[in-house]
Amino acid sequence: MIIKCLHETTLYCNELTGYTIASYKTADGSSIPKEAVSKYRPKNGMTAFTAVGNRLPTAVGVEIELSGKWDNGGKYGMQLAVNSCSIVRPKTSGNLIYTAITRAMSKVIIVGQKMLFSKQSIELMLQRGIRC
């Protein structure tokens, strides 16, 4: 199952392992099982749900495709266990800024278990309120 969505909020992110629990929102509410729909309703009428996985995209305003299986996460309810994800490339010139931000943020060097970001990447993340 592939779901086109936008990142809503990061609920948990382990910086060492990359394990992430995040809330996403989609315009296609019919693709989300009723048990997985978040009680929180985004203001724009979209449907919110929770996804879990490693290094999930959390960029603000960027359309994302998540692929995985719905899993009843016990006390946390049904969540999408993500096995792959990708960022959807914008089709209009007005959205090209998101591609530039995504590319700048991908300039990450991993040394041991520490991530080193370029100065430009850090500035963009701070401007956009991106964590982890």
CA distance 107 to 98: 15
The residue among 105, 82, 114, 122 whose CA lies nearest residue 16 is 114
Give per-residue pLDDT as tens, 69-126: 999 877 788 999 999 998 887 665 555 555 555 555 555 544 444 555 566 666 666 6
> What integer pLDDT is reported at residue 118 of this predicted model?
62
pLDDT at 63 over 60: yes
Q: Looking at the DSSP assignment, which residues form a beta bridge with residue 49?
A: 24
Sequence-separated (6 or more) residues with CB below 8 Å from residue 7: 22, 23, 24, 57, 58, 59, 60, 62, 64
Show the CA angle centred on residue 122, arms to residues 116 and 126, nearest 5°. Answer: 145
**What are the domain boundaries of the chain?**
2-128
Decide which of 12 and 121 is more confident: 12
CATH class of 2-128: mainly beta
Least confident of 33-37, 38-42, 126-130: 126-130
Strands 19-26, 2-13: pairing kind: antiparallel
Instruction: Give the SS3 label for residue 70.
Output: strand
> What integer pLDDT is reported at residue 115 of this predicted model?
52
Decide which of 35 and 113 is more confident: 35
> What integer pLDDT is reported at residue 116 of this predicted model?
54
